[in-house]
Amino acid sequence: MDLLSGLRSILPDDRISTGGEEIERHSGAIFTYHASRPPDAVVYPESREEVAEVLRFANERGVPVVPFGEGSSLEAHTIPIRGGISVDLGRMDGILEVRPEDFVARVQPGVTHGGLNAALAEHGLFFPVDPGWDASIGGMAGTNASGTNAVRYGAMRDQVLGLEVVLADGTVMRTGGMVMKSSAGYHLTGLFVGSEGTLGVFTEIVLRLYPVPEHILAARAVFPDIEAAGRAAGAVIQTGMQVGRVELVDARTVGAVNVLKGTDYAIAPTLFLEFSGSEAGVGHDVEAARAIAEAHGCERFEFEADEAAREKLWEARHEAGLAIRDLNPDKKPMTTDVCVPLSDLPGALRHARETIEAAGFDGAILGHVGDGNYHAVFPVDPDDATELERAEAVNGEIVDHALACGGTCTGEHGIGSGKIGSLEKEHGDSLPFMRGIKRLADPNGIMNPGKIFEE
Amino acid sequence: MDLLSGLRSILPDDRISTGGEEIERHSGAIFTYHASRPPDAVVYPESREEVAEVLRFANERGVPVVPFGEGSSLEAHTIPIRGGISVDLGRMDGILEVRPEDFVARVQPGVTHGGLNAALAEHGLFFPVDPGWDASIGGMAGTNASGTNAVRYGAMRDQVLGLEVVLADGTVMRTGGMVMKSSAGYHLTGLFVGSEGTLGVFTEIVLRLYPVPEHILAARAVFPDIEAAGRAAGAVIQTGMQVGRVELVDARTVGAVNVLKGTDYAIAPTLFLEFSGSEAGVGHDVEAARAIAEAHGCERFEFEADEAAREKLWEARHEAGLAIRDLNPDKKPMTTDVCVPLSDLPGALRHARETIEAAGFDGAILGHVGDGNYHAVFPVDPDDATELERAEAVNGEIVDHALACGGTCTGEHGIGSGKIGSLEKEHGDSLPFMRGIKRLADPNGIMNPGKIFEE
């Protein structure tokens, strides 16, 4: 039985694509410089049973399987670099259960964080993890995504309380549960979150939810240089105040955002800040943060007056990557993603700026500096081998600097196929154990091959 | 080569015990009803290399190895139920590095949370995880311990950023790092935390630290019954306020504590509360919590006036288990440890009280109700087989009730040898995967055999 006949024995014809736009859409990532590669087929399962049947079929034949959500990964996770089947989970986008009093929702992998939050608003609850793109919850769990709220609420791994996973051989397994904590056996939930589709396909995800804070205030603090902004961010965190968000954007990023969003933010290194809690608590925190910012050279500290201005601010921040990409429509963005210990952040920001400049790139720097996680984004021409090599060298230098500080090569984007060498540098001594787990879940190596590890 | 000769080839004689008080101390847990069993030898390594040599030796001969910290586990983790070597990590109690600006400490496994916090005070930092006993950090990481601060700061798994682990064959492996978040490969740190000594021995642990809050206020809220106290706790959490601690103690527990600590707290179901943050924020939160408590029938809401009274309150809470044990010095405490979804808590508390009473036990109920995690503690005579069986039936009924609500059989104490059957009920479908990981780390099954799984 060939691939197509096999898939037709599992799914109706209209949920299998083998050509045209759908193959194109599943061939390459939206935001990344990585080379695209078409899958042999795209399938659209609607249930765990269908996912299990597709995997069982693929596993028996050694056909690669790549889980696909929104395709917004920055490290080529959804590119089927060995061909095979792209399993598009977009039709499994149900919100199966919301338990407002338990702060828990059970969802299918295809729902996006925006879709989930729209459904939660009526309960006065929200889900905090907010990568820039409106990514799927399944994909976000796959890469342990985070975003601007992580400094307060944590990353995906902190929110996923339980999973339903289909392993390569079609076995369905549940991990975790509906409760806030557990010490019952090995923490498989945390192991599968961040496994980048290499261990199985998520078919249900139990998420932790949070009450919308009583009072929220946003502000922009403008600095003479990014190192000063980084030092101020560190000092705010040092106080122990429960800052909601603390995002750094450099002048280049603000300029790009002003073009895309029509804002008129001062074109200078800036911290975008958010404070939340009771009105009394927020009032105290924002004044403390302003004093710290000014002590670190802040030139202007401006509040976003109302909810619309605040939403605009965060929309601008979320679309910063898009804004930078749009400045160079003929190129693709290379995005670094290191995370360093907080005290190393100002030095790492300086090093990144100098490295990018020395290589002659037009780079922007931005990031979740309350976590020590920042991104350098610089457009490259993926068809220009020399330029691509130079860009990869810059990325490599930024990673090496982070590792030398005790940092990590990826704070939130994952390894994919772009950082396999960096992972070897960072975790060479535990890679054999990771590979052992890979073999346990996927002995035939069908799950997203060529990601995380060299084959 | 026999066991003793082998160990003597690795360690000096004065760091090997094969009889006397030290064998006795490593035979049974301090607080538990579980039957004790002597190890064949106790060893006291002082370095990772010595740990690795002991494990390599034991692995070649198939000799069981049980990691030992303070012996305060409630589920028999440190009891060498198959004999073998008790590896006492008490001499590896160094605080290797404190990085105040990075909120990170690197420690050896034998340091206790009290010892660590004493060293952190000069930096204005603290480590929040606080099981009742002054347990070792290694043991706490082994069971994914938590305590009263978990509602705000999370459990051990949320604090451990990295590990150095010696696997059964003596391989030394590092996981994680020094940073607040990472998406670099499989999350082995989270997998090893909570593995109860069945996958390897921790020789270094990187921990997340927190600034001591600017302002702290503690209070006691007295209720007519525990269900009302449970409902009030849930309602406080619902507001989204960042409560520091919310602990429930029933009348029986308060009575026991008054005897042990010389306090004169009202003998009634009570919430012990703590609020922290800025003075303005705390003032707002405490008034909101008081209003909620009163709406749920709170009869008295009393503040702890000063730091000494506040410390006394938490000391009393931490020693509640001890206090209950001391009421029945001839018996041993059976301690349940389920965690349920927040909305199921009042019903679960009622069910536990009725179940214990129906079985004729003199039980106390207390717990970390902000997480949905509570304990029933009832003294049993471990030499009375009928009584022990009856006690185990009560524990089993409480677990079954929690599982029926979507809860877990253990919120923080772990599986050990006491809850193997409960784990099978809760995670039967993922147990084969857990066993696969066990075989990967420990193919000869020497690491703490008879814990988590049936052999």
Task: Report the C-alpha gap between B211 and A243 in whole angstroms.
Answer: 13
Predicted confidence (pLDDT) at residue B262 exceeds the cutoff of 80: yes
The pLDDT of B287-306, averaged and rounded, is: 95
Q: What is the DSSP letter of B15?
A: G
| Cβ neighbours, 10 Å, residue B432 | 11
Banded pLDDT at B169 (limits 50, 70, 90): very high
Residues of B in contact with A179 (CB under 8 A): 339-341, 371-373, 406-408, 411
The answer for A 4-63 residues in CB contact with B (under 8 A) is none
Q: Please tell me which residue of chain A has the smallest CA distance to B102.
A: A342
Contacts of B146 in chain A (CB under 8 A): 181
CATH classification of B215-321, choosing from 3.30.70.2190, 3.10.50.30, 3.90.105.20, 3.30.70.380?
A: 3.30.70.2190
Q: What is the CATH number of domain B95-211?
A: 3.30.465.10
- pLDDT tens digits, one per residue of B398-449: 999 999 999 999 999 999 999 999 999 999 999 999 999 999 999 999 999 9
Structural domain boundaries in chain B? 3-90, 95-211, 215-321, 328-414
Residue B1, pLDDT > 80, answer no
A362 — pLDDT class (breaks 50, 70, 90): confident
pLDDT at B235: 93
- Residue ranges in A218-278 assigned as alpha helix (H): 226-238, 251-261
Nearest CA in chain A to B211: A240
Second-level CATH architecture of B3-90 = 2-Layer Sandwich (3.30)
Chain B contacts in chain A segment 252-271 (CB below 8 A): none
Q: Is A301 exposed, middle or buried (0-12, 13-18, 19+ CB in 10 A)?
A: middle
Which chain A residue shows the shortest CA-CA distance from B285?
A: A278
pLDDT, position B30: 77
pLDDT reading at A371 higher than 90: yes
Paired tokens of A54: 């597709």
- Burial (CB < 10 A; 0-12, 13-18, 19+), residue A122, is exposed
Residue A240: which residues within 8 A CB-CB, separation 6 or more? B210, B211, B212, B213, B214
Question: CB-side exposure of A150: number of CA atoms within 13 Å?
Answer: 27
- Interface contact flag, A182 B411, Cβ < 8 Å: yes
* Mean pLDDT on A281-307: 94
Residue A427 clears pLDDT 80, i.e. is over it: yes
Considering only CA atoms, give the Rg of chain A. 22
Cβ–Cβ gap B342/A182 under 8 Å: no
Separation in Å, CA A382 to CA A31, A35, A36, A390 = 12, 8, 11, 11
> Once rounded to an integer, what is the mean pLDDT over residues A294-317?
94
From chain A, pick out residues whose CB is under 8 angstroms from the CB of B177: 406-408, 426
Answer yes or no: pTM beyond 0.95: yes
For residue A102, is pLDDT > 90?
yes
Query: Six-digit token pair at B195?
Result: 């593995």
Which helix or strand (DSSP H or E) is residue A52 part of? helix A48-61
What's the mean per-residue pLDDT of chain A?
95
Across the interface, whether the CB atoms of A240 and B211 are under 8 A apart is answered yes
* Chain B neighbors of A452, CB-CB under 8 A: 185-186
| pLDDT band (50, 70, 90) for residue A276 | very high
* DSSP, res A249: E
Same fold, B95-211 and B215-321: no
Mean pLDDT of B67-80: 96
CB within 8 Å: B103 and A413: no
Comparing alpha-carbon positions, the chain B residue that sits nearest to A288 is: B278
Residues 391-420 of A with CB under 8 A from B: 406-415, 419
Answer whether residue A240 shows pLDDT above 90: no
The answer to whether B451 and B415 have CB atoms below 8 angstroms apart is yes
Helix axes B431-441, A431-441, angle to 10 degrees: 140
- pLDDT confidence of residue B31: 78
pLDDT for B242 equals: 85
Find the helix packing angle between B226-238 and B279-295, rounded to 10°. 140
B165 has pLDDT over 90: yes
* Lowest mean pLDDT, pick from A15-19, B101-105, B200-204, B238-242: B238-242
B440: nearest CA partner in chain A: A436
Q: Over range A114-127, report the average pLDDT.
A: 98
Residue B175 and residue A172: Cα distance in Å, rounded?
Answer: 28
A-B C-beta contacts closer than 8 Å: 284
Q: Report pLDDT for A32.
A: 85
pLDDT in tens, A339-361: 999 999 999 999 999 999 999 99
Report the pLDDT value the prediction gives residue A115, as an integer from 0 to 100: 98
Q: Are A200 and A453 in contact (CB under 8 A)?
A: no
Q: A342 and B180: CB-CB below 8 Å?
A: yes
Among A182, A188, A195, the residue with its CB nearest the CB of B434 is A188
Q: Least CB-CB distance to A214: which of B240, B412, B419?
A: B240
A211 has a pLDDT exceeding 80: yes
pLDDT, position A15:
98
The span from the CA of B4 to the CA of B11, in Å, is 10
Does pLDDT of A89 surpass 90? yes
Among residues A453, A337, A319, A330, which one has the least CA distance to residue A387? A330
Helix H or strand E segment including A365: strand A364-368
Question: Which of B33-68 are b and which e, b meaning 16 or more Cβ less than 10 Å from the residue's Cβ?
Answer: bbeebbbbbbbbbbebebbbbbbbbbbeeebbbbbb
Cα end-to-end span (Å), chain A? 27
For the cut 80, the answer to whether the pLDDT of residue B29 exceeds it is no
- In this prediction, residues A267-284 reach a mean pLDDT of 94
Examine the pLDDT at A313 and tell me if it is beyond 90: yes
Enter the tokens of residue B416: 């050990």
pLDDT exceeds cutoff 80 at A129: yes
Q: Residue B49: which residues within 8 A CB-CB, separation 6 or more?
A: none
Residue % of chain B over a pLDDT of 90: 93
CA atoms within 13 A on the CB side of A235: 19
Q: Is A328-415 CATH 1.10.3720.10?
A: no
Q: Say yes or no for a CB contact (<8 Å) between A211 and B284.
A: no
Q: Residue B364: which residues within 8 A CB-CB, separation 6 or more? A: B249, B250, B252, B253, B256, B320, B324, B376, B377, B378
Q: Does B442 touch chain A (CB under 8 A)?
A: no
Task: Extract the tokens encoding B422.
Answer: 């409960």
Say yes or no: B428 contacts chain A, CB-CB below 8 A.
no
**Quick one: which of A139, A141, A47 has its CA closest to A96?**
A47
Average pLDDT rounded to a whole number, residues A279-283: 92
Confidence of residue B240 (pLDDT cuts 50, 70, 90): confident
Distance of CA B156 to the CA centre of its chain: 9
Can you tell me the distance from the alpha carbon of A159 to that of A340, in angstroms, rounded to the nearest whole number? 22
Identify which of A76, A38, A74, A35 has the alpha carbon closest to the alpha carbon of residue A333: A74
Is the model's pLDDT at A29 over the cut of 90?
A: no
Q: Which of B179, B199, B419 sits opposite A372 (nearest CB)?
A: B179
In this prediction the ipTM stands at: 0.97
Among the partner residues B146, B339, B341, nearest to A104 by beta-carbon distance: B341
Check if A175 contacts B (Cβ < 8 Å): yes
- pLDDT tens-digit profile of A145-161? 999 999 999 999 999 99
- For residue B307, CA distances in Å to A121, B122, B310 come to 40, 17, 5
Q: Kindly tell me if the per-residue pLDDT of B163 is higher than 90.
A: yes
- Amino acid A204: pLDDT: 98
Find the CB nearest A186 among B175, B285, B437.
Answer: B437
Domain B328-414 fold is Alpha-Beta Plaits (3.30.70)
B168 contacts: CB under 8 Å, gap ≥ 6: B55, B58, B59, B65, B200, B441, B442, B443, B444, B446, B447
Contact A436 B431 (CB under 8 A): no
Give the largest Cα separation in chain B, rounded: 71
- Nearest by CB to residue B180, choosing from A242, A283, A371, is A371
Q: How far apart are CA B188 and CA A190, in angstroms?
A: 9
Q: Give the angle subtended at the CA of A16 by the CAs of A15 and A18, to the nearest 5°.
A: 150
Q: Does B240 touch chain A (CB under 8 A)?
A: yes
Which pLDDT band holds residue A30 (cuts at 50, 70, 90)? confident
**Burial track B112-143 (b if 16+ CB lie within 10 A, e otherwise):** bbebbbebbeebebbbbbbbbbebbbbbbbbb
In whole angstroms, give the CA distance from residue B143 to residue B163.
Answer: 14
CB contact under 8 A, B173 and A430: yes
Residue B258's CB is within 10 A of a number of other CB atoms, namely 16
